Amino acid sequence: MNSRRKEKHAMPNRDPNNWQALLNVVLSLWPQIYAAGLAMLIALVRAIHAGGRPMKSFLEAVLCGLLTLALMPLLAYFGMPQDMAVAVGAAIAFLGVEWVRDRLDALYEKIIGRWLK
């Protein structure tokens, strides 16, 4: 074997506190991660169960997760706890992005569309 093995050099920039900092970031973002992740998982399972194509199912799951993230500040604006985002995200994922889009289009037409005509 090779008798001249390179010894590992200590890395001066390696800080063991980085793991704690990463954990603190994840814990501070946990409500968002949990709500979006659960919405994505529910949407993916629903779309696959309905017999959808894999790519369309994946994209709908991503859209549900992102829509859940977008609604979290709205919940905070109305004084609701961030944990409600899990329930809202699960409902959006169960109903589907197209259902939500149709309802928002109807609401837009009802409220804003009449002034634009």
DSSP summary character for residue 104? H
Q: How far lies 117's CA from each of 4, 81, 105, in Å? A: 82, 38, 15
- Band (pLDDT 50/70/90 cuts) for residue 113 is confident
CA 43 to CA 60: how far, in whole Å? 7
Q: What is the pLDDT of residue 14?
A: 76
pLDDT in tens, 9-31: 666 677 778 889 999 999 999 99
Q: What is the pLDDT of residue 63?
A: 92
Q: How many CB atoms lie within 10 A of CB 84?
A: 16
Q: How far lies 71's CA from each of 10, 58, 66, 75, 83, in Å? A: 46, 20, 9, 6, 12
Task: Answer with the residue of higher pLDDT: 16 or 78.
Answer: 78
Q: What is the pLDDT of residue 24?
A: 94
Strand ranges (E), 1-117? none
Q: What is the pLDDT of residue 40?
A: 94
The phi, psi pair for 30, rounded to 5°, reads -60, -45
pLDDT in tens, 37-55: 999 999 999 989 988 888 9
Q: Is the pLDDT of residue 79 over 70?
A: yes
pTM of the entire predicted model: 0.73
Q: What is the pLDDT of residue 26?
A: 93
Q: What is the pLDDT of residue 17?
A: 86
* Residue 3, both tokens: 């008798």
3 state SS of 78: coil
